[in-house]
């Protein structure tokens, strides 16, 4: 296994990580910003007010995008295993 192959596999894994976490983290960021603005406007300083909507929003996103995320992970893992077999035979 060459250094180029390892770097390529790591790059693909990092790209997949960013692709899978971006919707969840982005929505959490937007919900947190909206809640923070709401708390600043109304002067409500309740800690649970920021956590509960974020958890609910992340749950909804995972429920909606979960099958797509799982399919992407399965596709990457299948490709990784087939690449490992090819590399093991070429060494």
> Shortest CA distance to 51 belongs to which of 24, 74, 28, 78?
28
- The answer on pLDDT for 88 being more than 80 is no
CB neighbours of residue 81 within 10 Å: 10
**How much is the pLDDT for 31?**
94
Are 76 and 70 a contacting pair, CB within 8 Å? Answer: no
Domain boundaries, the chain: 3-90
Q: Rounded to an integer, what distance in angstroms lies between the CA atom of residue 9 and that of residue 78?
A: 13
Q: Whole-model pTM?
A: 0.78
Any idea what the Cα angle at residue 17 is, between residues 36 and 54, rounded to 5°?
Answer: 20
- The answer on pLDDT for 47 being more than 90 is no
**How much is the pLDDT for 57?**
94
Mean pLDDT of 13-20: 96
Are 19 and 72 a contacting pair, CB within 8 Å? Answer: yes
Contacts of 16 (CB under 8 A, 6+ apart): 72, 73, 76
């Amino acid at each position: 296994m060459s250094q180029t192959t390892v770097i390529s596999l790591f790059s693909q894994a990092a790209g997949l990580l960013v692709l899978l976490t971006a919707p969840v983290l982005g929505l959490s960021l937007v919900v947190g910003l909206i809640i923070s603005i709401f708390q600043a406007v109304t002067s409500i300083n309740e800690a649970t007010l920021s956590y509960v909507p974020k958890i609910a929003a992340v749950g909804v996103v995972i429920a909606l995008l979960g099958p797509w995320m799982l399919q992407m992970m399965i596709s990457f893992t299948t490709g990784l295993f087939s690449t490992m077999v090819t590399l093991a035979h070429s060494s």
